[in-house]
Every structure is written in C-alpha cells, then in structure tokens.
Amino acid sequence: MKQKIFFHVSIFTFLVLLFTGRNEKLLAQVAIPDSSIKSFRLFEEEKILEISLRFDLSTYFRTKPKEDYLKANITFHLSKTDSLSQDIKLRTRGIFRNQYCKFPPIELNFKKANFGYSDLSRISKLKLVPQCSSGKENGDYVLREYLAYKLFNVLTDTSFRVRLLKVNYIDSEKKRKPIIQYGFFIEPVEMLAARTNCTQIKSGALNQKSIVPKIMDRIAIFNFIIGNYDWSIPGQHNVIVLKSLGFDPYGLGIAIPHDFDWTGLVNASYAIPAEIVGTDNVRQRIFLGVCRSKEVYEKDLDLFSEKKEEFYRVINEFPYVNIQAKKDMTGYLDGFFDKLVGKRDRILDNLLDYCKRF
C-alpha cells in the first residue's frame, strides 16, 4: 500500500514540476529531442537543397589539389531563417574533368564535423559533382547527368542515390565574387552498401561473368540506352561492385554504374569518343554486355519496356531543365524505345552482334 502511495505521489510531483515550469532543466530534457538520432534525409528527399561552400577559390582553380585538402566551411540552408554549418576540408577528384573543367569534381571530407544528424554523422567523405564551367550549357550538362542517375534508380534500389543542389561558392579570401551553380551529391558507397545489406569488393580482376547475370544485363542495356560506352567491370571503371551479406549460394557480385557525363543522354560538348572506340560521337550507341541467348535478351528488354513511361516521367516532370532539353533527352531515348516496340529484332541483332564472348 505504501509503495502504491509513493508511486502516485512521485508521478504527481513529476507532473507538477513539468507543467508549472519549476524545473526548466527537466522540461528541456523532456521537450527537446536529441538531434543525433534524427535523420537529415540527405538522399531521401527530392527537393533541391541549397548549400554554401566557403574556401580559397583561387587556390582551387589554380592548383586543383588532389592530394592536400583545402580548409572549407559548408552551410546547409534548411530554410530562409535556419541553417547548419560546419568546418570541413575538400579537394578535387576525377581524371578527365579534373584536367578539362574549371570546376573539377569535389571530395568533401566530413571526418571532424559534427552535424548532429544520424545520416550526416556516418559520412566521412562525400562526392560533389559541380558544373564543369560557368554558363547555362554547363548547367544543363550537370542536370542531365543527375537525371541519368534518377533513371537508373527507376530500375533498382541497388543504385546510387543523388541529391540535387544549388551551390553558392564563396571565396574565403574575399578576392572573388560568389558563384552560384547547380550540382549534386552522390551517395557514399558505405551508405549504399549498408542500405542494401552488402559489402564492397575492390578487386580489379573481376569480369562480367563475376556479376549476377540479370544485374549485368541490366547495366549493359541501360548503358546502351543512354549511350554510355565509358565503363567496364575489369578495373571497375565507372562501376563499383558489391556482394550481398545475405544468403548467396553463387557468390556473384552486384555491379552499380556511376559517372554518366560521357553519354549520349548528356551530350556534353567535351565528350568526344576516342579513335579506338570507332564512333563519330557519343550519341551512337555501343553495346558492351556479355553474350546471352536471344531468349534471355528478350526477357531483359521486357524490363525496359515496362519502365519506359516512368523513364519519360522522370525527365518530363523535372522542373530545372527547359522544354527544349527535355525534348532532346526524350527524343534520344525514342531512338531505342521506338525500335523496342516496332523493330525489336533490330535491337536484338545489335546486342547479339556486338556482345562480348568470354
């Protein structure tokens, strides 16, 4: 009986303290959640995210540092009145775009930052794809590449998520005017692997037969559709390979493509095929997949036929490219899908004629 009385008295005392404001510390602990358990939803939201990056722009443009980091500060603009800032480091990455572009691809280092959000806290390095250079044309290129990732998302969750950005580049030395451009973040491999219950395989000795056949065909045909020949499983060039941590009797890998700037869908002015490729421009499709039977290819193509309308919806409902660019992209896709409906044998013959035999 005494224990029950004590329990009820304790509850009453707690409520009095809570609602009369006599114990502000207790109220704060009850009312304010711990932000460290909240997710920023960096790769789960669709709306464009505005960020500001402050660093030495002159050194970045002049040296394009790939080894040493530059000190930087990143601000996530959550609303007109709210933002989240942390000191970070950054350096450039990539090969061709690092040499050719005024804005090389960027690697952001978050290792010592504390954003107070569960997903951001798990990120050590984050890839930012900026516009190659200033101007509307280069803005269109980065938006088109972003859409290429979104198209592959339509096919499978085992794909890189991306987040569209409005980026304010601010010179920490105050010698240059701010530069505002589009860009996008690419989901870190570690986050992708955790999300799909996989682990990354870094071996360069793999080939297309090391990959689950259905997944390998999906990548090869997708790259054929968007006009991408700049990839390979050996050496993991513009692909990564994961392995499932679940039951896997065959031990085959899961390949995931990335870096779509050198494609017919993007059609960047700098994307000129090497002479060894044997094509005049990147809009000429090349199939680089492993050989299968005609029946297997038929089933593979059925998947893309089912996803056609969703492909077109992703492009046509995207608000940041103009109608002319949308017509160009969907018109390029028409070159594949129109044949898929009326002249499927032509596509099948192409796949069978140019596939790789092991």
Per-residue pLDDT of 255-274, as tens digits, reads: 999 999 999 999 999 999 88
Residue 213 has pLDDT above 60, yes or no: yes
pLDDT at site 233: 97
pLDDT higher at 233 or 204: 233
Are the CB atoms for 237 and 228 separated by under 8 Å?
no
Q: What integer is the mean pLDDT of 176-204?
A: 96
Interatomic CA distance for residues 187 and 191, integer angstroms: 7
The secondary element (H helix, E strand) that includes residue 108 is: strand 106-109
Interatomic CA distance for residues 102 and 211, integer angstroms: 36
DSSP assignment letter at 172: T
Question: At which residue do the structure tokens 């044997």 appear?
Answer: 278
Give the amino acid at 352.
Answer: L
Q: What integer is the mean pLDDT of 37-56?
A: 94
Q: What integer is the mean pLDDT of 330-339?
A: 97
Burial of 260: CB neighbours in 10 Å, binned 0-12, 13-18, 19+: buried
Mean pLDDT for the chain? 90
pTM of the predicted model over 0.75: yes
Q: What integer is the mean pLDDT of 74-82?
A: 93
Two structure tokens written together for 289: 């997949």
pLDDT at site 19: 42
- Of the chain, the percentage scoring pLDDT greater than 70 comes to 90
CA 243 centroid distance within chain: 19
Residue 24 has pLDDT above 50, yes or no: no
Q: Would strands 125-130 and 179-186 be described as parallel, antiparallel, or unpaired?
A: antiparallel
276 pLDDT tier (thresholds 50, 70, 90): confident
Q: What integer is the mean pLDDT of 3-14?
A: 45
Interatomic CA distance for residues 165 and 331, integer angstroms: 26
Residue 21 has pLDDT above 80, yes or no: no
- Of the chain, the percentage scoring pLDDT greater than 90 comes to 81
